[in-house]
Amino acid sequence: MKIVLDAMGGDNAPVVEVEGAIQAVQEFGHDLILVGDENRIKKELEKHGFSSDKITLKHASEVIEMHDPAAISVRRKRDSSIVVGLDIIKKDQADAFVSAGNTGAVVCAATLSLRLLPGIERPGIAIVIPTLKGTSLIIDVGANINTKPIHLLQYGIMADAYSRYLLGKSSPSVGLLSVGEEETKGTEFIKEAHTLLSESKLNFAGNIEGRDVYAGKVDIILCDGFVGNVILKISESVADTIMQSLKQEIKANFLATIGAVLSSSAFNELKRKMDYSERGGALLLGVDGRCIICHGSSTPKAIKNAIRVAAEFVKQDVNKHIIEELESY
């Protein structure tokens, strides 16, 4: 198993990426190709006193910054870590690509370089979220904001394969995010998508509302990339606000502090469930390759787990199962 890591992608690259790569090698033993400024990457490896033939380097002289326009940068910065890394995948020299860089640039470069799976019109970013019943999968959370109803059907088919083969759900239920449960609610876009999903082979449970997302009402939540990204960012903010407020209240009250000590195991489990670094990254579904997109502020632990997710994606051959499901339509 060989995985390409964009070493220049995150907010604190290559420091975080190198540390995460070392952790991944030590824990999982995968072969990694770190792409980026070779001198800076070497310096970080030396800081950790790490030397292993499990990590090789591929120099890339350019970086697509977070503020750079995606499509223009992909075309102009041909020697960027994102473009060079995905070219390695295109040439079948590695099995998967992981990046905490500019999301739009990763989506654009992956689509141009790897192309799309047959039957897919637009890629979608799928992310696992914690719920009261375990986990659910949301797609799309930012790859495509100009979504058509047919794209949501394709997202549902891809997410179904993901849920079956990576999350172990034999018959995942699918919900369409709307402003009401009734099929008459929502925009024309939502109504048309509802019709397509109702006529599909998916285990479609109908419309769901925002309050149902974290209740675990369905296994798969479908939405356009604009709505999905807003949900993701608000969720991150709310989770952080709750944890920070809880800490403040505990510190302000002696009895609350005693209670927190007695409930520490429960608090630690809650923190683990809410911690995005446990899940690592989100899969870019629909491209003819394996691509994992991480948060720009990812920690070494998140990078390590993104590499783990990438390896699972390869091992379970999710794209093959997606193609098989698409061919049945």
pLDDT in tens, 183-228: 888 999 999 999 999 999 999 999 999 999 999 999 999 999 999 9
> What tokens does 293 get?
């997109």
Same domain (yes/no): 128, 158: yes
What is the predicted pLDDT for the residue at 37?
97
The amino acid at 33? I
SS3 248: helix
> What whole-number distance in Å separates Cα of residue 96 and Cα of residue 252?
48
Asked whether residue 133 falls in the same domain as residue 256, the answer is yes
Clarify whether residues 163 and 301 are in a common domain.
no
- Asked if the bond preceding 14 is cis, omega within 30° of 0, the reply is yes
pTM exceeds 0.85 for this model: yes
d(CA 81, CA 57): 11
Q: Please tell me whether residues 271 and 143 are part of one structural domain.
A: yes
pLDDT digits (tens, 9 = 90+) for 221-249: 999 999 999 998 888 787 778 778 877 87
* The residue type at 149: P
262 or 309: which leads in pLDDT: 309
Please indicate, yes or no, whether residues 126 and 177 belong to a single structural domain of this protein: yes
Do 269 and 168 lie in one domain? The reply is yes
For residue 131, list its beta bridge partners: 134
The whole domain housing 172 covers: 121-280
Question: How many structural domains are present in the chain?
Answer: 2
Locus of tokens 């520490």: 264
Q: Tell me, letter by letter, the H, E, C secondary structure of 145-189.
A: CCCCHHHHHHHHHHHHHHHHHCCCCCCCEEEEECCCCCCCCCCHH
Q: Write the CATH number for 98.
A: 3.40.718.10
Establish if 75 belongs to a structural domain. yes
Question: In this structure, how many other beta carbons lie within 10 angstroms of the beta carbon of residue 68?
Answer: 18
